[in-house]
Structure 1
Amino acid sequence: MILQLAAASLKHRKTSVLLTLFTIVISVSLLLSVEYVRGQVRDSFTRTVSGVDIIVGAPTGQLNLLLYSVFRMGNPTQGVDWQDVAWLEDHPQVDWLVPIALGDAHKGYRVVGTSNAYFEHFKYGDKQSLSFSTGNGFTSDRHAVIGAEVAEQLNYQVGDKIVISHGLGEVSFQHHESHPFTISGILNPTGTPADKGVYVTLQGMESVHGSSPTQNTLRRSPFKKPDAGSKAADDDHAHHDEHDHSAEDTHGESLSQAPPSSISALFLGLSSRVAALQVQHQINNYGNAALLAILPGVALKQLWGLMSNVEKLLLGISVLILISSLIGLITLLLATMRERRQEIAVLRAIGAGPGTILWLIQAEALLITAVGCAVSFAAVSLGLVVFADWLNASYGLVVTGSLFTLQSAIVVGCVLAATWVCSFIPAIAAYRSALHAGLSTR
């Protein structure tokens, strides 16, 4: 009965009610979006690198190793000797490894020395693989692959030649102009640091700096576990022509048999993730050299904890917007009290008590907020579906799951509870007015 009266009263004042409803929808939608995206951003951040079980580098600290290997921020204090890389390659629990060499830049973007294994094994978000928008990986020591942001900002195409520079600044006084690289592929956008990288072969980076190849040449790819037929494949390799050699290289084989003397870091994939802690302990206690092995998921969560204040700030701004909307709702109900004195008097005349008038005003407020929450749920859910691909490509935000979660239910419950508490102000005013209401307007 009270809900029917509340609905009829709101319909009579539909213009002002619609404006108030609009503000409620905006504020609740913002609150729901921030709460949902906040959780998704946290999950996506902790999955910036999701296909790597262990990261190995010099013992410079867990966060420092994570920052320079994944986010390309800072530099290692020392490299990892190739003999130690060979030990990791032969480890029974290591399924694959990806080398990372840093130290150069191209017009402000970091240059990463690596192999085709990087494009094959590196994953982000919900275990999504890197893909090429055009071109492909390395088929020559002088090939380069660039991220989506590098291609967009510098207007590069496949086939363009680039020159890398020593150092990390946008301005360098030492350009390796005698050793240009040809762009062989451009990666699709990921919204991760991979978009800002210029990737070259380890052998190409080594030759740029004038380093001579080491003498311990490997018979097989230094970045890929050999299968049962690897020896036969090596013996038959001499009979393949250059075209076949390039096709094989594209699928992850080393382009040159001479490994570099040292690298900056390694990404490891294990045959069993259950053994991650055991392998980490073995690497950290490796006797021949000082190495540091970290679990990227743990390090990313630790790094996110340092930035949690930004998360709390966003939530606080949304709460302030909701409070302003609730104040607008109270103002609307209070402003209509004088206009509704005769309505209240009629309700009193047909037997409605002061308590009924109080509950009527609260029912109107809760009805407006409930409709606003329902519209907000629908609008935010539709927006997440429509913009899911854009959020993934632009910001690396992988939208997974439904908006109808426990956190969203708590948000709506808090909004309705706040509305009920705030509605006491106009409801009590209506209650007092009802005690003295008459059939004539004063």
Structure 2
Amino acid sequence: MYLLRLALTSLNNRRFTALLTVFAIALSVCLLLAVERIRTETRASFASTISGSDLIVGARSGSVNLLLYSVFRIGNATNNIRWDSFEHFAAHPRVKWAIPLSLGDSHRGYRVLGTSAAYFERYQYGRNQALQLAQGKPFNDLFEVVLGAEVADALHYKVGQQIVLAHGVSTVSLVKHDDKPFTVVGILARTGTPVDRTLHISLAGMEALHVDWQNGMPARGAAKLSAEQARALDLQPRAITAMLLGLNSKIATFSLQREINEFRGEPLLAILPGVALQELWSLMGTAEKALFVVSLFVVLTGLIGMLTAILTSLNERRREMAILRSVGARPWHIGSLLVLEAFSLAAAGVGLGLALLYIGIAASRGWLRTQYGLDLPLAAPNLYEWQLLGAILAAALLMGVIPALRAYRQSLSDGLSIRL
């Protein structure tokens, strides 16, 4: 105990250097734990981008590609699904509900999704959280649109405002549906998922936009149909991009998946969202590990800074060590003193790092939840985090051995006569 008091007193005499070292270690510990918590929560949030849907069905391609364009609105489908195929499986006795998804248009770089009222009733994200409207109501008319939260915030749109959709998915489009404007009737609450970056219209509205088009282009030589003329037409969709299925029983998932994959009406692919999400996350695992390794190197840098500070002070403290030897301190006492100094600096850095972590989480928790859908818990460190902190303290002890050995050897030869 007296050695610990002596170590703390010695650090107090060099308080400015000690505080800088503690702060450097604290910042590195805070960064490491913050990265670990964000990494863990991001994985959980990523895995729950879509929940409650048992199967995602699209044209036959790859599972990751189907997941990307149907859930994340990235890329395009290799082909569409015929409407009668959707009706066939929507009426399947094992299917409880079905949500059609139709992609293809955009608005200032944001994707437009054609769907049905079931989307607002059945689509879930996170831990089985349903979509909520922050303002307005779901679409009910042919030319009504419901905006995701990010679209509304970024473009400063309000309920009642009219907007024009564009053909294609580029940020700047030369082909716009300016003859058929849509009215904003609702804005969804923020979810932290791709829903926030999507404009939602009805399937009939999607058909109305292209009713006077042929082969993906405006029909040449034909007069454009106005919005009122489009209302009088049969706007039953002929094809959609994908569909989400909820089943009556989870037990039937694999058998229905096999039935869809072997469907003879057209080549289809059914995937389990959770499995596809894990497959996609594994592709991003390298970046995740790289971020963690960078954080470890930051901690190592802080510990090396501590070692440098202790070693630098050794020459200045050789007379101090010699005096301690003269009053009865043994060489191992001198070595233990420096090991305790290193451990005390690391322990103080870990404690301050934890405090900075919780202050940061408390200050940014609401913002992270609304902007990115991340819910960082204000919970005690879990077992893995305690293991990381223990490893940091163990590394500090090992690094403390280096100046301790040097001081041990010097104290044996210096005596009271110091040659500076």
The two structures, once aligned, show a CA RMSD in angstroms of: 2.0
Given that 1:114 and 1:202 are in contact with CA atoms closer than 8 Å, whether structure 2 keeps it comes out as yes
Q: Secondary structure at the match of 1:200?
A: strand
Tell me the distance in 1 between the aligned counterparts of 2:44 and 2:358. 19
- Residue range with higher mean Cα deviation, 281-290 or 304-313: 281-290
Q: CA deviation at 1:188?
A: 2.1
What TM-score, normalized by structure 2, do the two folds share?
A: 0.90
Q: CA deviation at 1:160?
A: 0.9
Q: CA deviation at 1:25?
A: 0.3
| Counterpart position of 2:168 | 167
| Counterpart position of 2:307 | 330
Distance change >3 Å, CA 46–CA 401, structure 1 → 2: farther
Q: CA deviation at 1:441?
A: 4.7
Distance change >3 Å, CA 257–CA 176, structure 1 → 2: closer
| Counterpart position of 1:197 | 198
Q: CA deviation at 1:124?
A: 2.1
Given that 1:69 and 1:265 are in contact with CA atoms closer than 8 Å, whether structure 2 keeps it comes out as yes
Q: Secondary structure at the match of 2:53?
A: coil
Distance change >3 Å, CA 8–CA 401, structure 1 → 2: closer
1:288 equivalent to 2:289? Answer no
Which string of whole-angstrom CA distances, capped at 9 and with x for unpartnered residues, describes residues 26-61 of structure 1?
Answer: 011111111221121122112211232210111111
| Counterpart position of 1:44 | 45
Match of 1:418 among 383, 395, 398: 395
| Counterpart position of 2:339 | 362
| Counterpart position of 2:182 | 181
| Counterpart position of 1:431 | 408
| Counterpart position of 2:15 | 14
Q: Could you tell me which amino acid in structure 1 is paired with residue 408 of structure 2?
A: Y
Tell me the distance in 1 between the aligned counterparts of 2:8 and 2:203. 71
What TM-score, normalized by structure 1, do the two folds share?
A: 0.85
Q: CA deviation at 1:22?
A: 0.5
| Counterpart position of 2:131 | 130
Which string of whole-angstrom CA distances, capped at 9 and with x for unpartnered residues, describes residues 224-271 of structure 1?
Answer: xxxxxxxxxxxxxxxxxxxxxxxxxxxxxxxx9964222110111223
Distance change >3 Å, CA 276–CA 381, structure 1 → 2: farther
Tell me the distance in 1 between the aligned counterparts of 2:210 and 2:235. 15
Tell me the distance in 1 between the aligned counterparts of 2:117 and 2:416. 86
Q: Could you tell me which amino acid in structure 2 is paired with residue 326 of structure 1?
A: L
| Counterpart position of 2:56 | 55
Tell me the distance in 2 between the aligned counterparts of 1:34 and 1:287. 48
How high is the sequence identity, in percent, across the aligned residues? Answer: 44
1:79 equivalent to 2:80? Answer yes
Q: How does 1:219-368 map to 2 (within 5 A)?
A: 259-368=236-345
Q: Secondary structure at the match of 1:269?
A: strand
Given that 2:37 and 2:376 are in contact with CA atoms closer than 8 Å, whether structure 1 keeps it comes out as no
Given that 2:160 and 2:184 are in contact with CA atoms closer than 8 Å, whether structure 1 keeps it comes out as yes
Q: How does 1:385-424 map to 2 (within 5 A)?
A: 385-400=362-377, 402-424=379-401
Q: CA deviation at 1:21?
A: 0.5
| Counterpart position of 1:220 | none
Given that 1:133 and 1:187 are in contact with CA atoms closer than 8 Å, whether structure 2 keeps it comes out as yes
Given that 1:125 and 1:397 are in contact with CA atoms closer than 8 Å, whether structure 2 keeps it comes out as no
Given that 2:207 and 2:235 are in contact with CA atoms closer than 8 Å, whether structure 1 keeps it comes out as no
Q: Secondary structure at the match of 1:141?
A: coil
Q: CA deviation at 1:401?
A: 7.4
Distance change >3 Å, CA 346–CA 320, structure 1 → 2: same
Return 5+ residue gaps in structure 1 as ranges: 213-255
| Counterpart position of 2:111 | 110
Tell me the distance in 1 between the aligned counterparts of 2:391 and 2:108. 50
| Counterpart position of 1:223 | none
Tell me the distance in 2 between the aligned counterparts of 1:57 and 1:401. 40
Given that 2:107 and 2:165 are in contact with CA atoms closer than 8 Å, whether structure 1 keeps it comes out as yes
Given that 2:100 and 2:240 are in contact with CA atoms closer than 8 Å, whether structure 1 keeps it comes out as yes
Q: Could you tell me which amino acid in structure 1 is paired with residue 122 of structure 2?
A: H
Tell me the distance in 2 between the aligned counterparts of 1:197 and 1:370. 48
Tell me the distance in 2 between the aligned counterparts of 1:399 and 1:96. 33
How many positions carry a matched residue from both structures?
A: 399
Match of 1:371 among 339, 348, 354: 348
Given that 2:257 and 2:270 are in contact with CA atoms closer than 8 Å, whether structure 1 keeps it comes out as yes
Tell me the distance in 1 between the aligned counterparts of 2:77 and 2:283. 21
Given that 1:381 and 1:403 are in contact with CA atoms closer than 8 Å, whether structure 2 keeps it comes out as no
Q: CA deviation at 1:429?
A: 1.4
Which string of whole-angstrom CA distances, capped at 9 and with x for unpartnered residues, describes residues 269-299 of structure 1?
Answer: 2233343222212221223332111011111
Q: Secondary structure at the match of 1:336?
A: helix
Given that 2:28 and 2:299 are in contact with CA atoms closer than 8 Å, whether structure 1 keeps it comes out as yes
